[in-house]
Each structure stands twice: as C-alpha cells, then as structure tokens.
Amino acid sequence: MKESTHQLLANAHETLNAAELLVNEGYLRDAASRAYYGAFYAAEALLNERELSFKKHGAVHSMFAQDFVKTGLFDAKYHRWLLNAFNQRQLGDYDETVQFKDDDVRETIQQAREFLQAVKTHLQM
C-alpha cells in the first residue's frame, strides 16, 4: 500500500477521533464536519490506490460510486452515508440557522467509522 494511502487512513482515524471529542463537548456543527472528513479521507484512500486524485469533493463522491459501488465492491449504503455526511457538513458550514441533534451527529460518526473499517478491510490492513 502506498505511503500516501496510509496517511489518508491515519487522517481519517484522527479526524473521527476529533469528531467524537467535539460531539462530547456539544460542538455539533464541528463534529458533523469532522465526521464527513473522516469518511471523505477514507474514500480518497481507495481512489489513491488506483492513482486517482481529485480537487472537488463531488468528483471523489462520483468516482467512489462508479469504481466501488456500481462494481459491487462496496455496498451502496457507504455512498449514501458519504453523501449524507457531506450534506450535514455543508449545512453546518453554510447554514447559520441549522440545529443539529446529538444523536444524528453521533450516527454520522458511527457510519463514518464503519465506512473507514470497510475501506481498511478492502485494502487488507
């Protein structure tokens, strides 16, 4: 496995740990953002192993769906979770009126952790 892939996976793990600390302290917007990035880094790690790199989040989402979900390598739920986490992040970053629920953010963190574990299993870590 590439060193850059290892680093992306380490970033995902660290970011999800930060999300848990933030949600435990009541910083739900920031926790939602960190949860998304945990899943995003995991998706980037998969693509990185195939020499694929993108500047736009939407391109990562689309290529993950094309190369890993549509081919049956990953369950479609992971793509849904990635998109849902992205939507939460967008709301938290750009909608000053949105109010997150603790349980919803914790669920997103758990889904991102499960996604990261599925990526690690796929990459045989």
* Number of domains observed in the structure of the chain: 1
State the amino acid at position 41 in one-letter form: Y
Quote the domain boundaries for residue 16: 3-122
User: What pLDDT band is residue 125 in, cutting at 50, 70 and 90?
Assistant: low
Could you count the other beta carbons within 10 Å of the beta carbon of residue 93? 14
**Prediction pTM value:** 0.95
The pLDDT of residue 91: 95
pLDDT band at 86; cut points 50, 70, 90: very high
Mean per-residue pLDDT, 76-93: 97
Query: What is the token pair recorded at 106?
Result: 């914790």
Measured CA to CA, the distance from residue 110 to residue 8 in angstroms comes to 18
Q: What percent of the chain has pLDDT over 70?
A: 99
Q: What is the mean predicted confidence (pLDDT) over 114-123?
A: 97
User: Which CATH number fits the domain that encloses residue 57?
Assistant: 1.20.120.330
